[in-house]
Amino acid sequence: MVADGFCDFLPIVIISLLVILFLRLFRRRHSLVKTPCPQSYPLIGNLIGFLRNRHRFHDWVCDMLSTTPSLTLQVNGFLGLSHGICTADPTNVHHLLRSNFPNYIKGRRYTSVLHELLGTGIFNSDGHLWSSQRKIASYEFNTKSLRNFITDTLKSQLSRSLIPHLSSAADAGETLDLQQVLRKFGFDNICNVAFGVDPGLLTSNSKDSSSLLFVQAFDAAVENTSNRFMSPLPAVWKMKRFFNIGNERKYKEAIETVNQFAMDIIKSKEEQTDSKTDEDLLSRFMASSWDMGFNDTERRKFVRDIIISFVLAGKDSTASALTWFFWLLEGHPHCRDLIHKEFSTLMASSVPKIQPTNLTFDDLKNLHYLHAALSESMRLFPPVPINSRLTVDDDKLPDGTYVGKGWFADYSAYAMGRMERIWGSDCREFKPERWLDVNGVYQPSDQFKYPVFHGGFRMCLGKEMAYLQMKSLVVAVMYEFEVEVIGGGGTPEKMVEPPYTLSLLLGMKNGLPVRLKQRQHV
Ligand code: HEM
Ligand SMILES: *[C@@H]1O[C@H](CO)[C@@H](O)[C@H](O)[C@H]1NC(C)=O
Ligand SMILES: *[C@@H]1O[C@H](CO)[C@@H](O)[C@H](O)[C@H]1NC(C)=O
Ligand SMILES: *[C@@H]1O[C@H](CO)[C@@H](O)[C@H](O)[C@H]1NC(C)=O
């Protein structure tokens, strides 16, 4: 659904419309479908509705879904060239992600667009190619040694990079775009965890310039990839790629830089004799790849692909979550006070006195209110607002909706967070308390009712790491500073059009300008 209709090529659209108009006269209607359609002018799909609502796309989807009997609707894609369903029903989501998992794959819609950047990495593959990587990666993510490595990396980045950076802005009375700061922090962090190298984006004193070139090239490649997703006529970029012209040539160069960086590190690790002691993800995946029956070329490509997928998955997701979180806190000062009180109490009770950047994994685990507030924030502003699968064969969803072979099957995590039928009549209010039991203990939600980290067999592998990162960052920042959001905070129940961007991750349209004030500690 994401790809169907973003249109900057109106002339092409109009000509195509005329052609399609003729063709459609002879097409059989899908008589099997009994799912309510969004207002669908028969010849042009949902294009008009889309164009009218593109600035509030996710709310538009939410509005339409909430009027259907089972929170599910059929979608006629751009020009009627594609068909699919979109759902916000937990039982249907369970069906897509778990009970009939093999029938709903990433498929060509993803792989053709992302292939150059991700190869056949875990994020961009199906079937056996995917499951072998999933096995290795989920094993690593359950080791204590990786968790310790992640915790240590975070501590050092917070105390050496983020806090000093924010302190100097606070002292200078500068206004900062917190979204930008969080993105840089997230990118530095995933590079540290993935490769064991620090690009130093935040401090701008990179130890080696190749990692800086890498992050710039990676960013350009991702941006160009999103543009492909949004292109209404894939033929346009495919043609450019074929002739190697324009933006597509720049794209190729960026991918080249990304590959070169990954390969250089892989080769240098191969030469290291003591590489077994390296804790970063790349070293771990390399160690697992030796006995997989690959030759050298295949093995290096395997390792490159999987690590690039992790960089993509980990790069901006927590930054997106935290940006909305700080914005919501500004609108809910009472919750902000409770968060501050919770970690202050924890720190005060530890002997000897503990530093905010030095909380252990278990300390962080005990911050139930903060955990609840972060989950609540992502319920309203999920970093991945809508997700899409390709249907392998005809199927029927639990609510009776027919899905045809080759159709897309989407679920909207954004819409699900705002459904009265799922969360009750206060669903649009920011209320961390809804996640706590009477003793103030955090109660996780069912993953198919809250698919913010996806669910089922392809559930996010970085969920625990993400919470760890977000919690330790929030504590470190709120301990040192009072954060003031310029322009005021967010109260979702009062707004029709939250200020989000239309990209694969839910970003804040004009950034999040803040002013910081050092807190006085006695
Ligand atoms: C708040 C932060 C995060 C959110 C909301 C989030 C959400 C998601 C979602 C929705 C998916 C499914 C994507 C799809 O299949 O289309 C996913 C997959 C994935 N995530 Fe995350 N993620 C977060 C952080 C991270 C981090 C920090 C890492 C890196 C360590 C990570 C690693 C992955 C990987 C490897 C997958 C692919 C799993 C597979 O296909 O088997 N995520 N995540
Ligand atoms: C590709 O990314 C670069 C760098 O962000 C940008 O300048 C360029 O406009 C992008 N091109 C396309 C087609 O998205
Ligand atoms: C590795 O295997 C692939 C096919 O699986 C083959 O194309 C390639 O030439 C092999 N490379 C080497 C160095 O043997
Ligand atoms: C942080 O904790 C470690 C042990 O986990 C300790 O050695 C170190 O001194 C602590 N640092 C600070 C600043 O409290």
Residue 223 DSSP one-character state: H
Residue 466's beta-bridge partner residues? none
pLDDT tens digits for 291-343?
A: 888 999 999 999 999 999 999 999 999 999 999 999 999 999 999 999 999 99
- 355 within ligand 4 shell (Cβ under 6 A): yes
The answer to whether 489 and 331 have CB atoms below 8 angstroms apart is yes
Distances in whole angstroms, Cα of residue 351 to Cα of each of 346, 347, 348: 10, 9, 8
Q: What is the mean pLDDT of residues 462-472?
A: 96
The answer to whether 44 and 79 have CB atoms below 8 angstroms apart is yes
pLDDT tens digits for 263-278?
A: 999 999 888 866 556 8
Q: What is the mean pLDDT of residues 26-45?
A: 50
Residue 125 has pLDDT above 60, yes or no: yes
pLDDT tens digits for 226-252?
A: 777 666 566 676 776 766 666 677 888
Ligand having the closest approach to the CA of 8: 2
Q: In whole angstroms, give the CA distance from residue 3 to residue 486.
A: 34
pLDDT value of residue 428: 96
Residue 15 has pLDDT above 90, yes or no: no
Q: What is the mean pLDDT of residues 53-68?
A: 92
Q: What is the mean pLDDT of residues 167-171?
A: 96
8 vs 481, higher pLDDT: 481
Tokens of 238: 């495919």
pLDDT value of residue 455: 97
pLDDT value of residue 79: 63
CA-nearest residue, atom 9 of ligand 4: 358
How many whole angstroms from 221 Cα to the centroid of ligand 2? 8
**pTM, full prediction:** 0.90
Residue 152 has pLDDT above 70, yes or no: yes
Give the architecture (CATH level 2) of 117-518.
Answer: Orthogonal Bundle (1.10)
pLDDT value of residue 280: 94
Ligand having the closest approach to the CA of 353: 4
Ligand having the closest approach to the CA of 296: 3
Residue 41 has pLDDT above 80, yes or no: no
- 226 within ligand 4 shell (Cβ under 6 A): no
Burial (CB count within 10 angstroms: exposed 0-12, middle 13-18, buried 19+), residue 244: exposed
pLDDT value of residue 328: 97
Ligand 2: residue of 216, 223, 256 to mutate (most ligand atoms within 8 A of CB) is 223
Please state, rounded to an integer, the average pLDDT across all residues of the chain: 87
pLDDT value of residue 291: 85
- 224 within ligand 2 shell (Cβ under 6 A): yes
Confidence of residue 204 (pLDDT cuts 50, 70, 90): confident
pLDDT value of residue 277: 67
Q: What is the mean pLDDT of residues 155-179?
A: 96
Domain ranges of the chain: 117-518
pLDDT value of residue 10: 38
Residue 347 has pLDDT above 80, yes or no: yes
How many whole angstroms from 69 Cα to the centroid of ligand 3? 54
User: Per residue, what are the HEC states of 399-426?
Assistant: CCCEECCCCEEEEEHHHHHCCHHHHCCC
Residue 468 has pLDDT above 90, yes or no: yes
pLDDT value of residue 248: 72
198 vs 110, higher pLDDT: 198
Range scoring the smallest mean pLDDT among 1-15, 331-345, 420-434: 1-15
- 358 within ligand 4 shell (Cβ under 6 A): yes
388 vs 32, higher pLDDT: 388
Q: In whole angstroms, give the CA distance from residue 262 to residue 304.
A: 6
pLDDT value of residue 234: 67
Confidence of residue 503 (pLDDT cuts 50, 70, 90): confident
Range scoring the smallest mean pLDDT among 19-23, 242-246, 290-294, 444-448: 19-23
CB within 8 Å of 481: residues ≥ 6 apart? 166, 170, 516, 517, 518, 519
pLDDT value of residue 284: 93
Longest pairwise C-alpha distance within the chain: 79
**Percent of the chain with pLDDT strictly greater than 90:** 65
Confidence of residue 23 (pLDDT cuts 50, 70, 90): very low
pLDDT value of residue 206: 62
Q: Which ligand 4 atom sits nearest the alpha carbon of residue 358?
A: 1
Q: What is the mean pLDDT of residues 172-189?
A: 96
pLDDT value of residue 222: 86
Tokens of 337: 């006070």
Residue 6 has pLDDT above 80, yes or no: no
Residue 197 has pLDDT above 50, yes or no: yes
